Amino acid sequence: GENVEQHPSTLSVQEGDSAVIKCTYSDSASNYFPWYKQELGKRPQLIIDIRSNVGEKKDQRIAVTLNKTAKHFSLHITETQPEDSAVYFCAAVKAAGNKLTFGGGTRVLVKP
Amino acid sequence: NAGVTQTPKFRILKIGQSMTLQCTQDMNHNYMYWYRQDPGMGLKLIYYSVGAGITDKGEVPNGYNVSRSTTEDFPLRLELAAPSQTSVYFCASSYSNGGYNEQFFGPGTRLTVL
């Protein structure tokens, strides 16, 4: 089955700096890669996603890049703000199964 | 739309007890999922369903059962609860017509087994 590794497990940044989270996946058949943000005690919420036919996608301060050859994808948050503090999860999906395999999560702390 | 709703929000069980976690969605999604999230960890898929009457195992199905008699409801049954089942349980749903679309999560049920 699919295996998703996520690094780092914790990330502390100064407000205004950038944050980068990296994930690798094992199954070359995976073709959809969502990122979820989970605030303390809340449900995961989708913040951005990328499909395998696209190399990069941006949405305001958030961007995701995908390298299919190397089987890794990354989340980039620029100009971080205190409200970006949360746990972020990457995931990989094979369309045939529609099943999400999650990474272990990255706890991001933005210091004011 | 209420989206995905789950009951109860919290529950404490004794070892060996049984319970059913309820999940309902009003978005007419064909796919539904159950995940568990242990403290400080990612979500792991327990069971999923691609439509009424069809269910399949995920990564960690042992100790759980599901049924899907309607499009809207996807209850998760715990038989003979064990401390290892202490976790937060999330139900999710999505629509698929062959491709992949966003999964929407419910608010979660926090279960403690003592």
**Predicted confidence (pLDDT) per residue in A80-89, tens digit:** 999 999 999 9
Of A6, A42, A98, the CB nearest to B96: A98
Q: Does A101 contact chain B (CB < 8 Å)? A: yes
Give the Cα separation of B28 and B73 in Å (integer): 10
Summarize pLDDT for B61-80 with one digit per residue, the tens: 999 999 999 999 999 999 89
Interface of A with B in 24-83 (CB under 8 A): 31-32, 34, 42-46, 49
Residue bearing tokens 């199964």: A97
* Residue B96, pLDDT score: 83
Residue A13: other Cβ atoms inside 10 A: 17
* Residue A100, pLDDT score: 87
Chain A contact probe: residue of B5, B43, B95 with most A CBs at under 10 A = B43
B8 upstream amide cis, omega within 30 of 0: yes
* Residue A95, pLDDT score: 65
Q: Does A93 contact chain B (CB < 8 Å)? A: yes
Q: What is the mean pLDDT of chain B?
A: 94
Residue A72: other Cβ atoms inside 10 A: 16
Residue A3: other Cβ atoms inside 10 A: 11
In 3D space, the residue among B21, B12, B30, B38 whose CA is nearest the CA of residue B91 turns out to be: B21
Contacts A46 to B, Cβ<8 Å: 102-103
pLDDT above 80 (res B92): yes
Q: Which residues of B48-80 are buried (b: 16+ CB within 10 A; e: fewer)?
A: bbeebeebeebbbbeebebbbeebbebbbebee
Of A31, A43, A101, the CB nearest to B105: A43
Q: Does B40 contact chain A (CB < 8 Å)? A: yes
Q: How confident is the model at residue B99 (pLDDT cuts 50, 70, 90)?
A: confident
pLDDT above 90 (res A63): yes
Say yes or no for a CB contact (<8 Å) between A101 and B100. no
Residue B102: other Cβ atoms inside 10 A: 15
Q: Which range has the worst mean pLDDT, A72-76, A95-99, B17-21, B106-110?
A: A95-99
A35-51 mean pLDDT = 94
Of A49, A99, A105, the CB nearest to B58: A99
Contacts A89 to B, Cβ<8 Å: 42-43
How, if at all, do strands A56-59 and A62-67 pair? antiparallel
B25-38 mean pLDDT = 95
* Residue A94, pLDDT score: 76
pLDDT above 90 (res A2): no
pLDDT above 80 (res B47): yes
Say yes or no for a CB contact (<8 Å) between A43 and B90. yes
Q: How confident is the model at residue A96 (pLDDT cuts 50, 70, 90)?
A: low
E strands along chain B, which residues? 4-7, 10-13, 19-25, 31-37, 43-51, 54-57, 64-66, 76-78, 87-94, 104-105, 109-113
Of B43, B50, B98, the CB nearest to A102: B43
